[in-house]
Amino acid sequence: MSVAEARWSKEIAVEVVGGISYKMYVERPRRVEELLGFAGRWGERSYVAQGDQALTFAELRRAIAAKVAELTQAGIGAGDRVFVLGWNSPEWVVNFWACLSAGAVPVLANTWWSSAEIETGMALLSPKLILADASIAAKMPAGVPCGTWAVDPNGQGDVDAIAGNGGSEEDTAMIIFTSGTSGVPKAVVLSHRAVLARLHMTLHVTRKLPHQIDESAHDVTLLTGPLFHVGSMQALLRAVVVGDTIVLSKGRYDPKDVMELIERHKVNRWNAVPTMVSRLLDHPDVGGRDLSSLRSISIGGAPVHAELMQRMRTCLPSVSPRIPTGYGLTENGGQATAAAGSEDIAKLGSTGRPLPCVEISFLEHPGLPDGEILLRSPTQMSGYFGIDESPIDADGWLHTGDLGRLDEDGQLWITGRSKEMIIRGGENIAPVAVERALMTVPGVVEAVVFGIPHADLGEEVMAVVVTEGDLTVDEIRTRLRSTLASFAVPTRWRLQDEPLPTNHTGKVDKKLVSAAAREEIERASQSV
């Protein structure tokens, strides 16, 4: 596909897909791998930079071509599932694009998973091949089919000869895992239509459709979140279309490193979760670093409080007045609303207005002050792989479990959650999964897990555990680390020997336990 053939319209019409009516762009791209046709436009401009490594768009095309030949030789073809498991790196990016270009389905697995969680994911998806970096390969069960993680930016061949595998826009483009309320990671199936519809909408509202691009200018975008998150994946796609450079952080999040990257690369866009921004603003060096290149911080993954928005405007004046935020779930492609950040100060804390093809409705629940947010959009998932359960009803509405309201200006405000999911620093944690892991620890009799407010992370994980014997928190924590991702291990604990209270049905009264714990924490904070 040539760049000239990539027509992206602003015109929207209603189309029926699988018996459900969606608002869709009339002219639109149909396959994700076809986006690589734009890479030829940017030549020797850097596409991905990390540390001393830099991968240009020209090198990207060559590296993809070489990797596709390798995948094809390994028997990978249309529809085959390939796990991509590694920390952020140029190699991750090339492997992701190569899977798409080979017609395969990249499975973006969570690199924070324990060995047990990796095995669970593989048992569900039955991948034909695993592409894993050295650190993750060490966690792999014996006998799994592993390919080569390394890539060759000087490889032979041209991606134009392989990009574009035909097929339908309803074919599966990729699979991304998300936590479900059952505690078992769920594999979200995203079609080419879903992935591209979100990209199309965001390019539309930011006036960056292909025919609107100024080829002499480009943004430098910093990604500090993992590439296996849907937002980071979308940033990679966007960069190919508009010619942006993606700067990847390395290792665990460190605000000092972020400031150095912004200075070194003259970063002007930063995709982050609120916790990352809060920690940067708290760093003692923030006032002495040259962060003036930074113009935009796109925030997602967790609730954003008005106080944080105001701090950004005050401490990072070059970013003001644009602090884009939004709302979405992996199940709806990652984004349903967008706020430009230029609204009146009274609107700080809202998630913005629906994107062009997104419909929003509300389902009232008795006893709750606001309705549950329902979304319908061409971006939403085809379903969860391997299970019939779905939060999407027969009319195409995705039941989010979040509570909210639209104000008179059409801005969406999130007011609570009807589900129990804990969101810690942008990572979703299902309490039942942590409780199940706790109950495997010898000496644990009962356990209740819930989220409590945290000034930095948004929420942290607390566990109230009934034990017998001399079991300690350190002993429990050590056992959990072998079965849970690190961010899911509780950081607040209460160990007791008396039984937990029960409700009239005989079940543990989680609401009573969590309310008592929160009250105790509040009293303690007031007495300090």
Tens-digit pLDDT profile for residues 88-127:
999 999 999 999 999 999 999 988 888 888 888 999 999 9
pLDDT of 458 reads: 86
One-letter amino acid identity for 319?
A: V
pLDDT of 339 reads: 82
Single out the residue of 199, 184, 163 nearest to residue 387, CA to CA. 184
Between CA 97 and CA 68 the distance in angstroms is 9
Between CA 78 and CA 371 the distance in angstroms is 42
Q: Say if CB 306 and CB 411 are below 8 A apart.
A: no
pLDDT in tens, 170-216: 999 999 998 644 556 799 999 999 999 999 999 999 999 999 998 88
Which residues of the chain have a pLDDT value below 70? 1-6, 158-159, 161-165, 179-184, 301-307, 320-323, 340-349, 367-368, 416-419, 503-507, 528
pLDDT of 432 reads: 77
One-letter amino acid identity for 468?
A: E
pLDDT of 166 reads: 73
pLDDT of 251 reads: 83
Single out the residue of 483, 424, 385 nearest to residue 118, CA to CA. 483
pLDDT of 305 reads: 61
Q: Say if CB 491 and CB 460 are below 8 A apart.
A: yes
How many C-beta atoms surround the C-beta of residue 136 within 10 A?
21
pLDDT of 181 reads: 46
Q: Say if CB 365 and CB 337 are below 8 A apart.
A: no
Q: Find how far residue 371's CA is from the centre of its chain.
A: 25
Between CA 151 and CA 282 the distance in angstroms is 38
Between CA 276 and CA 254 the distance in angstroms is 8
> What is the reported pTM?
0.83
Q: Residue 430 — φ and ψ, nearest 5°? A: -90, 120
pLDDT of 199 reads: 97
pLDDT of 269 reads: 93
pLDDT of 304 reads: 65
Pick the CATH number of 422-527 from 3.10.20.30, 3.40.47.10, 2.40.170.20, 3.30.300.30: 3.30.300.30
One-letter amino acid identity for 156?
A: Q
Going through 249-311 in order, the beta strands assigned E by DSSP cover 269-272, 296-299
Q: Say if CB 289 and CB 258 are below 8 A apart.
A: no
Q: Find how far residue 43's CA is from the centre of its chain.
A: 29
Single out the residue of 463, 459, 470 nearest to residue 438, CA to CA. 463
pLDDT of 384 reads: 96
Find tokens 């809202």 and name the residue: 350
pLDDT of 347 reads: 63
pLDDT of 220 reads: 97
